[in-house]
Amino acid sequence: MVLIVDDEADAADLLGVLLGLHFPRAAVRVAHGGQAGLDLAIRERPDAAVLDLEMPGLDGEALAFALRAAYLDAAPLLIALSGNVVRLAQIQGNGAFDHHFGKPADVDGLVGVLRALP
């Protein structure tokens, strides 16, 4: 399952549709906000999660660390997505995410990363 979490509902839903077209046999789930994403990920473990960094309440970075803590044995592939390139640069190497992408989303890049999943 691929989880997309973004407080911008239209952006999250569109990315969900696009990834669903690229991965028709995979379940793609969308959550509109960090807490909703965490709740969904606890109910159904994602193989990968694309997380917006800047969300009110539980932001993408905190959500990534929460997912790593929830799945100590094998955390999902975690992908940061943000229009804030300064914030993306600040979190590089902090252990929260496996990959970092700017907005607007590089769908081909995301698809490439997700195709590498076992």
Q: What confidence score (pLDDT) does residue 10 get?
A: 96
Q: Which of 103, 58, 57, 56 is nearest to 79 (CA)?
A: 103
Q: What confidence score (pLDDT) does residue 45 get?
A: 96
Q: What confidence score (pLDDT) does residue 117 get?
A: 87
Strand 28-31 to 48-52 pairing: unpaired
Are the C-beta atoms of residues 37 and 17 closer than 8 Å to each other? no
Listing DSSP states for 6-36 in one string gives: -SSHHHHHHHHHHHHHH-TTS-EEEESSHHH
Its pTM stands at 0.95
CATH numbers and ranges of domains, the chain: 2-112 (3.40.50.2300)
Q: What confidence score (pLDDT) does residue 118 get?
A: 76
pLDDT tens-place string over residues 58-106: 999 999 999 999 999 999 999 999 999 999 999 999 999 999 999 998 9
pLDDT tens-place string over residues 14-50: 999 999 999 999 999 999 999 999 999 999 999 999 9
Q: Which of 70, 71, 78 is nearest to 114 (CA)?
A: 78
Place of tokens 């600040």: 90
d(CA 64, CA 77): 10
DSSP lists the bridge partners of residue 52 as: 81
